[in-house]
Amino acid sequence: MSTTTVDIKLSRSNRIYRPSEPIDGKIVINSPSPSSISHYGIRLTLKGSVSLQVRGGSAGVIESFYGVLKPIPIVKKSVEIRPSGKIGSGRTEIPFSVVLKQPGEENLEKFYETFHGTNISIQYLATVDIARGYLHKSLSTTMEFILQSDKADLLEQPASPEMVIFYITQDTQKHPLLPELKSGGFRVTGRMSTLCSLSDPISGELTVETSAVRICSIDIHLLRVESILLGEKIVTETSLIQTTQASCVSYPVTIADGDVSHNMVLPIYVVLPRLLTCPTMFAGPFSVEFRVSIVISFESDLAKFHTKSDPRTPRLWQAMETLPLELVRTK
């Protein structure tokens, strides 16, 4: 026997809203019953919060502190869409429109942008509840919507991204290298944007000037650095950002596969994933920062036995340079 279902259809297909904009859409109820069904009110709740967790293995954390910390509430607004009554048979659409932040209204916390990290998650949810009394199961559904900063709070678009010049040689590496890399030497130079709008790609260029050993690949790794205040300690964890869609370009991005011609300029172009990045933020109990690592892998027999590599810990046959990356939302 089919059951009555309820869904939320937001007005925007990308589900992106700003705090001062109305979040509108329709509540869609499909009832297969030949007769109408009674209810005790239809309520819409908008809720935003910051979820924090400290995972096992984080440096400097006592084991008893592992686990989920108390969420930080951002907003909770509940409105009655319809009073008690009946829902007819078939498909019923009920429009709604709710503003998260009214002019002059004080809020529990700042409206941080949506972000899904490893230990920090900032999420905004819309939930519809249809109360049906003790004899019938209540109907409920939840949908996430994406929140971005109000336009009034955004920075003006910078005239040009801030570029940082870097160079990578055997002498700039802090980890052990293969003897042939140490003695033969290599030099890679370039420049990259380290102040970047979220709507723009990370751009730059790179040139292999010299290398005594053949290069296998050059990768650009996008890293997130999440810090959580735990008592009197700050727990920091760096993790690699990756896309979950196999059809899209994943992170790390390979800008060169195979040996690279010397003195040839290679472009750097990395598109930022939407939900896995946000403006760089420094809040009281937590912070979210980003970094970019350029990893050069040289040809070596040892590499064949280590197909997987952590960009935070370079191997003997790798050289790397890590740059801080400040992300901002611009007009």
Please name the amino acid found at residue 14: N
Q: pLDDT value at position 34? A: 81
Residues 6 or more apart whose CB falls under 8 angstroms from that of 245 comprise: none
pLDDT per residue over 59-90, tens digit each?
444 444 556 688 999 999 999 999 999 988 88
Determine how β-strand 202-211 pairs with β-strand 186-197.
antiparallel
Q: pLDDT value at position 243? A: 31
> How far is 294 from 314, CA to CA, in rounded Å?
11
Residue 240 in contact with residue 251, Cβ under 8 Å? yes
Task: Report the CATH fold assignment for 162-328.
Answer: Immunoglobulin-like (2.60.40)
Same CATH fold assignment for domains 5-151 and 162-328: yes
Domain boundaries, the chain: 5-151, 162-328
Q: Please state which CATH class domain 5-151 belongs to.
A: mainly beta
Strand, coil or helix: what is 257? strand
Chain center to CA of 58 = 20
Rg of the Cα atoms in the chain: 25
> Which residues, listed in sequence order, are joined to residue 161 by a DSSP beta bridge?
none
> Which residues, listed in sequence order, are joined to residue 162 by a DSSP beta bridge?
195
Q: pLDDT value at position 251? A: 40
Please name the amino acid found at residue 297: S
Q: pLDDT value at position 132? A: 85
As given in the structure block, the two tokens for residue 111 are: 């409206």
Q: What is the pTM of this model?
A: 0.83
Please name the amino acid found at residue 298: F
Q: Which ranges of the chain have pLDDT less than 50? A: 1, 59-64, 243-252
